[in-house]
Amino acid sequence: MKKNYGDMTKVLHAGWKSDSATGASSLPIYLTSAYQFKDSEHAARLFALEEDGHIYSRLTNPTVTAYEAQLSALEGGVGAVAFSSGQAAFTHLITCLCSQGDNVVSSNKVYGGTVTLLKNIFSRFGIETRFVDGDHPCKFEEAADERTKLFITETIGNPLMNVAPLDTLGNIARRVGCPLVVDNTFAPYLAKPLEHGANIVVYSATKYISGQGTVVSGAVIDGGNFPWEDYPEKFPTLAVPDPSYHDINFAKQYHPAGLTAKLKASIIRDLGGCPSPFDAWFLHTTISNLPLRMERHSQNALEIAKFLENHPAVEWVLYPGLESHPHHDLAKVYLPKGASGMMAFSVKGGVEAGKKVLDNLELIGHMANLGDSHSIMTHPASTTHAQIPPAERAKAGITDGLIRFSVGIEDVADLKEELSRVLEIASK
Ligand SMILES: *Cc1c(COP(=O)(O)O)cnc(C)c1O
């Protein structure tokens, strides 16, 4: 696959040509747990990583491998590893890079599941997370020390749609000597974190990559641009001979894809959060029209953001594609093809007005998901954030009337008609 092909060509052609055994042109679902060895020599060579091939589907599977190659090509990485969920992707990555006594510096504007994983699970194993204001890169530098093993940010934060200052964060990570990990779940295809200082990209493929609200899945993409070999003491799992795997030095032997090799051969082997071949096949199909969908999501969202901004029942709208968003300039740099489909807006009249909007929807769904082709709304003050006292919610920017809107790819006129109707009811 030529590196200079466009993204649409890459998603349609990377990772799969046809089946060498049958000639089948579409990717088959290799629903198999194991693979027949040719003889005992062949088996031994596979186990010693001396020959490429499949052993057992927790480690590798041809359907999963094809999907991973497609994902890596789209992102501009040197390799990708698919997982059973976005949560599993982060769990395996952090387990790969961190040991007891190490720490992570993370933006405080990341997905709630990422926060609770770091705060409640990894802390129990002596891995501390220092949450800092993601809008101020200097806070990352202040919080970091020689035991900092990664920085975490999201391209677009939730629910206020903050756009991360990626290049600045990348420069700081380089100075500190740790990889910058960017969760790009909100902006696949639109944002290219690896071209802006990131070393590793994480996805919840459940959202836009699927686009159909069907499967739960995740991925890590290896940028191949972090010098693990320069830090053998800091990253021993990658840059020191591995006694759990024939003393392989993954960074050296698999350069520049040392992280991909380590995650596959050792971390997923031991932790086991592999995806189902069926899910990988499904995602391989849906990703082949991802660029078209992301462009349509962005067009629809921009038109709707402008419409809401001018509506008398609406207090404010936060969408990075709008000039009024505080990070519009960052969006122009990092999201040049469109600012994605995610926005937040606040209806006048607080919790009650918010509930009225949600309760009168016909076309737009009301559920805990995002990035689907179908439009979805959620009302944090009466659901996900209801347990948090109103004053604390307000401090985090979550006002009582805030509605998170994942704008789908329906005909935009129909979405506007629905919005006019529900806002009219809410303002009564
Ligand atoms: C949903 C989500 C996750 C978690 O992914 P799952 O596939 O639900 O495990 C992580 N990060 C972001 C930004 C998300 O939206």
Ligand 1 site, residue 126, Cβ cutoff 6 A: no
Nearest 10 degrees: CA dihedral of 218, 378, 293, 157? -60
pLDDT score for 192? 98
pLDDT score for 392? 77
Give the least confident one: 138-152, 204-218, 344-358: 344-358
Q: What is the pLDDT of residues 240-259, one digit of tens each?
A: 999 888 899 999 999 999 99
Mean pLDDT of the chain: 95
Ligand 1 site, residue 371, Cβ cutoff 6 A: no
- Beta strand pairing status for 103-107 and 79-83? unpaired
pLDDT at 235 over 80: yes
Using the atom order of ligand 1, give the atom closest to the CA of residue 88: 9
Distance 52 CA to ligand 1 centre (A): 32
Of residues 242 and 205, the one with the higher pLDDT is 205
Specify burial of residue 380 (Cβ count, 10 A radius: 0-12, 13-18, 19+).
buried
Using the atom order of ligand 1, give the atom closest to the CA of residue 218: 7
Distance 86 CA to ligand 1 centre (A): 5
From atom 12 of ligand 1, which residue's Cα is the shortest distance away? 111
Ligand 1 site, residue 207, Cβ cutoff 6 A: yes
Enumerate the β-bridge partners of residue 107. 132
Q: Residue with structure tokens 């387990």?
A: 95
Ligand 1 site, residue 183, Cβ cutoff 6 A: yes
Scored b (16 or more CB within 10 A) or e, 335-350 reads beebbbbbbbbbbebb
Using the atom order of ligand 1, give the atom closest to the CA of residue 154: 13
pLDDT score for 29? 97
pLDDT band at 397 (very low <50, low <70, confident <90, very high): confident
Q: Kindly report the pTM of this predicted structure.
A: 0.97
Using the atom order of ligand 1, give the atom closest to the CA of residue 370: 15
Using the atom order of ligand 1, give the atom closest to the CA of residue 110: 13
pLDDT score for 402? 92
Distance 43 CA to ligand 1 centre (A): 37
Q: What is the pLDDT of residues 125-175, one digit of tens each?
A: 999 999 999 999 999 999 999 999 999 999 999 889 999 999 999 999 999
For range 384-409, the mean pLDDT = 85
Q: What is the pLDDT of residues 27-63, one digit of tens each?
A: 999 999 999 999 999 999 998 889 999 999 999 999 9
Distance 118 CA to ligand 1 centre (A): 14
Q: What is the pLDDT of residues 398-424, one digit of tens each?
A: 888 899 999 999 999 999 999 999 999
pLDDT score for 49? 86
pLDDT score for 3? 81
From atom 2 of ligand 1, which residue's Cα is the shortest distance away? 204
Ligand 1 site, residue 206, Cβ cutoff 6 A: yes
Distance 298 CA to ligand 1 centre (A): 20
Q: Is 81 helix (H, G, I), strand (E, B) or coil?
A: strand
Ligand 1 site, residue 87, Cβ cutoff 6 A: yes
For the chain, the straight-line distance linking the first and the last C-alpha, in angstroms and rounded, comes to 57
pLDDT score for 249? 96
Ligand 1 site, residue 218, Cβ cutoff 6 A: yes
DSSP 283-318: HHHHGGGHHHHHHHHHHHHHHHHHHHHT-TTEEEEE
pLDDT at 395 over 80: no
Q: What percent of the chain has pLDDT over 90?
A: 89
pLDDT band at 14 (very low <50, low <70, confident <90, very high): very high
Using the atom order of ligand 1, give the atom closest to the CA of residue 185: 13
pLDDT at 183 over 80: yes
Q: Is 183 helix (H, G, I), strand (E, B) or coil?
A: strand
pLDDT band at 17 (very low <50, low <70, confident <90, very high): very high
CA atoms within 13 A on the CB side of 314: 18
Q: What is the pLDDT of residues 285-327, one digit of tens each?
A: 999 999 999 999 999 999 999 999 999 999 999 999 999 999 9
Ligand 1 site, residue 111, Cβ cutoff 6 A: yes
Q: Which of 89, 339, 112 is nearest to 221 (CA)?
A: 89
Using the atom order of ligand 1, give the atom closest to the CA of residue 216: 7
pLDDT score for 427? 92
